Amino acid sequence: MLLVTSGWSRTKVLLIAFSARLVLVMYSNIHDYIFKVNFTDVDYQVFSDAVMHVAHGRSPFERATYRYTPALAWLLLPISKWRDFGKILFCICDILVAILCFEIMRIDRRNGREQKPGRSKAEQKKETEETERTIQTEELDSDTCAVLVCWLVNPLTAVISARGNADVLVCAAVLLVLLLLKRDQWMLAALVHGLLAIHLKIYPLVYIPSVYLHFCNVKWNDSFVAKANKLLLNWKGLVYTAICLLSFAAAVFVFYRIYGEQFLEEFLLYHVKRRDIRHNFSPYFYVLYLLEDDPSLSRLVGFSAFLPQIVCVVYFAFRYSEDLPFCWFLTTFAFVAFNKVCTSQYFVWYFVLLPLVVDRVQMSWDSLKLTLGAWLLSQGAWLLFAYLFEFRGWPTFELIWLSSLAFLLSNAFALNRVITFYRPSAIQYKTKTVHSFVMVFYLIGLGLGDVEDITVKGLRIVKQCARVHLEAYTSILCYGLDKSKLEAFYGRKVIEADRTAVEQNSDSILEGADKEDVALLVVGDPFGATTHADLVLRAKQSGIEVRVIHNASIMNAVGCCGLQLYNFGETVSIVMWTDEWQPDSYYEKIEKNINNGMHTLCLLDIKTKEQTVENMMKGRPIYEPPRYLTCKEAARQLLTIAVRKMENGIKPAYSSETMCVGMARVGWDNQKIVYCSLRELAEFDGMGDPLHSLIIPGQTHPLEVQMLETFKLAS
């Protein structure tokens, strides 16, 4: 599902949705005054009458057909002064449901990213922060779109609350239980489950088996012995069930002490014994109607109606308890579909869970249209025949029953489609669009030392990527250009990517990154070289998701010499001179840094997989041996530039006595740092193997000087 709505934030969506419901509430009074068939639900009249009884110190059960918790009548006491109070309260709960959905979905996204290979807790935290920032922008994210379509602009949910039906209260309670479970506040969840959700409506009892099995992590394909062991040793599930049922029993006991047997009969026993012979979406009504004169057989059918519900509850609990939102959606859908009494208001019981599972059901448009069409068509047929029966007096009673059978079949078909297209890992990782799996091009920093310097997060990603490339020309690790050690450590084949591959043939690296995860390994940090920024741009232009796994680089590791990082100016690159080519453009940047009192980090050139002009012209894959600019050579080049400046009558920014820092193999076990003059460094042969770097300090702090003195070259 992709819904693009520019300029709308979540807050604006919620305010508009609430305003629309207020309009419906106001309209209800006008409609009720003008039309014979009221817009206001008959249950709201029952609530209002019960409230008046309670307001005068009497029992709400004195109102015939009041079969709800007395707490509801207490909650709605302001109705005695303001008739629309209950409708407004239910509309507010509609918005609360949306907010709870957002929070549950946020936790699901976070858990989904943590479970996907390559995503550490640190990255997940960063992505969560990015998601929260996106929510503050003026664009709808996909979670908001799901809640908007499935709940906030769903005409059924909006109208039911505005008409004065209280089912949204139990919906909010169910989501609160789920949210607390997601937060691992399971004891509080159990208390809310029993004291609030089940107490408001009995049906949330059906969620207890799935929660119990969720805690013991029982799998559908576990052996019988494994299942038995997990079930019996599931102390957390036992405690949850005990808290849930005892809290519900405590509430029942309190109200029993206040209202006596009538409370038990109307609030509890009625719903167990209920056998409704009036036409409703359940096909049981007609069977019970025919058996009205045979109470024993009617009771048998009524109790037998619980069997398919029990089977579904147990099966879905065992099969899908790992994913509670999806399990609860299936359980509620089946419970409503097979219930012996089924009306439109019951649909909100599973509609409230629909935003949480819409990403998990990867159904094609054709399947979606077929499933939704069958559901709406069978329901529409029932409504048509019911209208003709009630308002036109046509003899369509049997047709109503046939339509209810068709509706039951369409529900069964919808359940089958949802289960068939269920993808448990299909949780979105982007905030603006929905993808079942977002394939990613990863830029992974390897750090400065050896194979073990890769981050844990980077290593996990490497192990799960379809292809892994190694950028092998901007820097090297301590084992040089040999990628076999990388392959042995990662247990993966590593494809070498030279300058030509990265800069000119980047399509070969990005190829397939929209269908599978691909990684490019970079020594140091991925953005230590500008060429990698160009690669990122190419990927984004191709619509490929890019993620960067940072690591240490020479840009921050230079602090090991004692110079403070925030005192560094612009970094320069010193290239290797030849007899014919001796550029000095970097001198101006060094001069600028010195004049500003800033330190200058000089990155020294490396040449790998270079070809002679002859071999390049003839297309022969013959490469020159690797060459690396040393601190000694770089110091000589800098001094040569200073001499040339003086010959041209320009006073150079530095001299042969200017102090500098020579660094070699930073981050390796044999790291070398010396502090000396440029003249001394130009004559020093003790820096050893590459890679080398050079620093020209600017104004130094006494603490920096003390650190530098520890590396001073002995005279």
The Cα–Cα gap between 129 and 131 comes to 5
Confirm if 381 and 409 have CB atoms less than 8 A apart.
no
Strand, helix or coil for residue 661: strand
Residue where one domain finishes, among candidates 434, 468, 489: 434
562 & 655 share domain: yes
The Cα–Cα gap between 348 and 154 comes to 10
- Please count the other Cβ atoms lying within 10 Å of the Cβ belonging to residue 26: 13
Residue where one domain finishes, among candidates 501, 528, 551: 551
Which residues form the domain of 490?
435-551
Residue 435 has pLDDT above 60, yes or no: no
470 & 427 share domain: no
The answer to whether position 406 is within a domain reads yes
- What's the full length of the chain, in residues? 715
The answer to whether position 100 is within a domain reads no
List helix spans (H) across 207-305: 208-216, 224-232, 235-259, 261-263, 270-273, 284-290, 295-304
Select, from the ranges 24-38, 404-418, 453-467, the one with the highest average predicted confidence (pLDDT): 404-418
The answer to whether position 83 is within a domain reads no
Strand, helix or coil for residue 606: strand
Residue where one domain finishes, among candidates 519, 551, 583: 551
Return the CATH number at 539: 3.40.1010.10
562 & 679 share domain: yes
The answer to whether position 66 is within a domain reads no
287 & 395 share domain: yes
The tokens of 244 are what?
């849930």
Residue 507 has pLDDT above 80, yes or no: no
Confirm if 286 and 405 have CB atoms less than 8 A apart.
no
563 & 494 share domain: no
539 & 576 share domain: no
Q: Lowest-pLDDT range, 92-106, 267-281, 313-327, 373-387? A: 267-281
Span 39-68, average pLDDT? 91
The answer to whether position 129 is within a domain reads no
The Cα–Cα gap between 556 and 175 comes to 47
Q: What's the confidence (pLDDT) of residue 122?
A: 57
- Give me the percent of the chain exceeding a pLDDT of 70: 88
Pairing of strands 606-607, 600-604: unpaired
Instruction: Report CA 255 to chain centroid distance, whole Å.
Output: 42
The tokens of 479 are what?
């084992």
Span 342-353, average pLDDT? 92
List helix spans (H) across 116-223: 121-136, 142-147, 155-162, 167-182, 186-192, 198-200, 208-216
412 & 454 share domain: no
Return the CATH number at 629: 3.30.950.10
Residue 142 has pLDDT above 70, yes or no: no
Q: What's the confidence (pLDDT) of residue 1?
A: 34
Predicted confidence band of residue 574 (pLDDT cuts 50, 70, 90):
very high
410 & 298 share domain: yes
590 & 675 share domain: yes
Residue of 272 and 127 predicted with greater confidence: 272
Q: What's the confidence (pLDDT) of residue 46?
A: 92
| Number of independent structural domains in the chain | 3
Residue of 500 and 397 predicted with greater confidence: 397
Q: At what angle are helices 208-216 and 224-232 packed, to 10 degrees?
A: 100
pTM over 0.75, yes/no: no
Predicted confidence band of residue 294 (pLDDT cuts 50, 70, 90):
confident
Alpha carbon dihedral 299, 170, 204, 145, in 10-degree steps, equals 120
Tens digit of each residue's pLDDT (9 = 90 or more) over 692-712: 999 999 999 999 999 999 999
Nearest CA to 201 out of 181, 175, 171 is that of 171
Q: What's the confidence (pLDDT) of residue 431?
A: 35
Q: Phi, psi (5° rounding) for residue 658?
A: -65, 130
364 & 459 share domain: no
The answer to whether position 483 is within a domain reads yes
- Give me the percent of the chain exceeding a pLDDT of 90: 49
Confirm if 448 and 556 have CB atoms less than 8 A apart.
no
**Sign of the dihedral through C-alpha 576, 580, 584, 586:** negative
Burial of 413 (0-12, 13-18, 19+ CB in 10 A): middle
Peptide bond before residue 15 is cis, with ω within 30 degrees of 0 = no
545 & 562 share domain: no
Burial of 604 (0-12, 13-18, 19+ CB in 10 A): buried
The answer to whether position 140 is within a domain reads no
Mean pLDDT of the chain: 85
Tens digit of each residue's pLDDT (9 = 90 or more) over 611-631: 776 777 777 777 788 889 999
Tens digit of each residue's pLDDT (9 = 90 or more) over 70-95: 999 999 999 989 999 999 999 999 99
Confirm if 9 and 133 have CB atoms less than 8 A apart.
no
Q: What's the confidence (pLDDT) of residue 129?
A: 57
Predicted confidence band of residue 474 (pLDDT cuts 50, 70, 90):
low
Q: Measure CA of the first residue to CA of the last residue in the chain; give whole Å.
A: 72
The answer to whether position 458 is within a domain reads yes
Tens digit of each residue's pLDDT (9 = 90 or more) over 631-687: 999 999 999 999 999 999 999 999 999 999 999 999 888 899 999 999 999 999 999
419 & 323 share domain: yes
Q: Lowest-pLDDT range, 223-227, 410-414, 482-486? A: 223-227
Residue 120 has pLDDT above 70, yes or no: no
